[in-house]
Structure 1
Amino acid sequence: MLGGLGKLAAEGLAHRTEKATENAAHAVEEVVKEVVHHAKEAGEKALSEALNKAQESGDKVVKEITEKVTNSVTNAVSHAAEGLGNLGRNTPADSS
């Protein structure tokens, strides 16, 4: 009879061990899902911030280039107008 009790106890222990292993595996699975979820959110946030910074940097560069081109064109037009004004004053009739 003790042999039957030992076998029954071993089966009970095996069953409890199997259940505990299943519960532990389930708990690990939930932790992994949570970690992956947080990693995904952190990655998406980092990517969004990087894209925003790149956009801001690009906007700044475009603004600076636009200002430089505008200033260069304005200066060129001013010099051209000034040169044309000087040509109008230095006519051959004035030089005599």
Structure 2
Amino acid sequence: MSVVLTTDTQPEADRVAFWHDVVCRSFVPLNVATPDAGAFSGTVANDRLGRLQVSTVHAAAQRVCRTPRLVAEAGDEFVCSGSRRSAPAW
């Protein structure tokens, strides 16, 4: 069963902060920046396939960055792979 997290349930003013929390809890600690915070929307559907987490993300333009400090603070070892299916890069 999917666990779906979406900004659609949040007031516009809180969406980017909520999305940052969703991304960090779903994947790894990341910094998130958006070109238009007021119009931002995003949804993550997380599923499990054995020990593998499979996530589908639909979101407005954003830039994510994992700094050396965030890597060091995480402490866990894992592999994360992703691909962008559509939309221009920001």
Is the shorter-chain TM-score for this pair beyond 0.5, marking a shared fold? Answer: no
Q: TM-score, normalised by structure 2?
A: 0.20
Look at both structures and tell me which one has the larger radius of gyration over its CA atoms.
1
Q: Which has the higher contact order (CA 8 A, sep 6+)?
A: 2
Q: TM-score, normalised by structure 1?
A: 0.19
